[in-house]
Structure 1
Amino acid sequence: MEKMFSRAIDYYYETENEALILGDTFTALKKMKKESVDLIFADPPYFLSNDGITCHAGKMVSVNKGDWDKVASVNEKHKFNRLWIRECKKVLKPNGSIWISGTLHNIYSIGMALEQEGYKIINNITWQKTNPPPNLACRCFTHSTETVLWAQKDDKKAHHLFNYQYMKDKNGGKQMKDVWTGPLTPKSEKTEGKHPTQKPEYLLENIIEAASNVGDVILDPFCGSSTTGVVSKKLHRKYIGIDNNKEFVELSIKRLNLL
């Protein structure tokens, strides 16, 4: 994977088709070669750790995920989003695309940041969860969806890849809609340990199959436990994951080595 970087980079884990980097996302992105990535999936901090409570496995638990999920102000959050989105644009190929997941806590900042940094939003995907945790406060409707924004460079020369016919066939011969319905991440995908915001594999399968081809390079700049990497490997893509948490990177290695 050395050809992906213009400056020396220390891999924490590397094979012929996978690379994991333990460190700062911004530093790693700045070392990557320009326009070297076919598809980016990002699950950035949602900044929802506000000392509140939620329900998990029938128990009342804190919503706090860790220091990485906290932010001091709205301005700081938006500045963070613009910076990493800007660096991602530099490494994305002209015909590549970026997918970013989020909730109401950060998705509006991300949408604005994408437009400010020169992207064109293609779709607003709604992930509808069939088994969301109940709302314990009973002061609002149950939160049962997340949003995934799909965007490309806002450039006349850019023509994002979309495997339209494949996704139509996958959907029983009907055009696939922008609402994807399914359960939360099952226990079977957490056998080596779990990440607090781990996404289910079927969600990444849709994304990777829709917007990349076999052999393409997939980048996840906030990889966590590397569901992106697991699915990329299953679908015969190359994968680069970046995370600053050693525990999560070790979990990524365990999951990748199971395949």
Structure 2
Amino acid sequence: MVQIKQSIKLYNQNCLDALKEIESESVDLILTDPPYNLGNFMRGRQTNLKKMRDNFFGDAGWDDMEFEEWIQSMHLYFEQAHRVLKKKGSMIMFMSLLRVESIVKIASKHNFYYKTTGVWHKKNPMPRNMNLHFINSTEGWLYFVVKGRTGTFNNEGKAIHDFIETALSPTGEKKYGGHPTQKPESLFEHFIKLLTNEDDVVLDPFMGSGTAGVVSKKTNRKFIGIEINEDYFQRATLRINDIEKNCYKLTSFNSQEMR
């Protein structure tokens, strides 16, 4: 585990193992973009994705579980997520629209209150197969609350739609290398400011390139990030630490010292 002062803790572990080390009812928001388990599905389609993008997620190896194995892993994840979230804590979970129904069913069995399914529209998606069919420019996200039906919602009296539109992550957000499914900071900032307050704790169990951690630090929230891939973990650590590199020094701790 790597700790950046007391406000940020990063785990280079399997999320199910790392979640067990997090204190019960200590997290205000889980904001995460887990694998959609579409690797096998996409490889069976007639596309030229591999030719158009060398880091195509379907060939990454972390998105190709058998469906039943994926379902079981999601059950274990939601069990731990429910435990670590505070009363009326929230979860925003990005997910392929193909998998939304499955996730809602799993979440309900672990006492998550389903609020809504929204859509993120990418204004500048890669025009894959544009002469063959519609360009894939949307991803789904789900909103849940635990131990209550309404949590923090800082809308300031404004109507907040469940449709969010941003560009993809700009080059400046990939300084230390990108991730095949990296989300832009502006997208995560929307949720963090809406669903948490300053000094609240944000958790991303599938941290990837560390966007949730970067935005949490910039908005004065505490952050816990988990990433199993060592390469992405190192990139995320450097990226998060770069925000105030003159003020924060990385220190390694063992699992007992971080409690």
Q: TM-score with structure 1 length normalisation?
A: 0.85
Runs of at least 5 residues in structure 1 that lack an aligned partner in the other structure: 1-10, 169-174
Structure 2 residue identity aligned to 1:66: A
Q: 1:19 to 1:94 in 2, by over 3 A?
A: same
* Residue identity matched to 1:68: W
2:227 is equivalent to residue 237 of structure 1: no
Instruction: Tell whether 2:68 aligns with 1:68.
Output: no
**Cα offset for 1:226?**
0.7
Q: 1:216 aligns with which of 177, 184, 200?
A: 200
Question: For 1:209-256, what per-residue CA distance to the aligned partner results, in whole angstroms no more than 9, with x for missing partners?
Answer: 010000001100010111000000000000000111111110011111
**Cα distance between partner residues in 2 of 1:209 and 1:43:** 18
Tell me which of 137, 141, 151 is aligned to 1:160: 151
Letter in 2 for 1:43: D
Aligned counterparts of 1:246 and 1:60: Cα–Cα separation in 2 = 22
- Alpha carbons of 1:77 and 1:138: their partners in 2 closer, same or farther (altered >3 Å)? farther
Task: Tell me if structure 2 keeps the 8 A contact 1:54–1:133.
Answer: no
2:140 is the counterpart of 1:144: no
Flag the 1:22–1:83 CA change in 2: closer, same or farther, 3 A.
Answer: same
Partner Cα distance (2:130, 2:183) in 1? 25
1:247 and 2:231 matched = yes
1:64 counterpart SS class: helix
The count of corresponding residues between Structure 1 and Structure 2 is: 238
Report if aligned partners of 1:226, 1:252 keep a CA contact under 8 Å in 2: yes
- 2:119 matched to which residue of 1? 126
Report the TM-score when normalising by structure 2: 0.85
One-letter code of the match for 2:206?
F
Equivalent residue for 1:258, pick from 242, 249, 255: 242
Q: Residues of 1 paired with 2:216 and 2:13: CA distance? A: 21
Higher relative contact order (CA 8 A, sep 6+): 2
User: How large is the Cα RMSD of the aligned pairs?
Assistant: 2.1
8 Å contact 1:65–1:196 — kept in the other structure? no
CA distance in 1, matches of 2:107, 2:166: 27
Q: Is the 8 A contact 2:120 2:138 kept in 1?
A: yes
Which residue does the alignment assign to 1:8? none
1:17-96 to structure 2, matched below 5 A, reads: 17-50=7-40, 51=43, 53-55=47-49, 59=52, 61=54, 62-72=56-66, 74-96=67-89
Sequence identity (%): 34
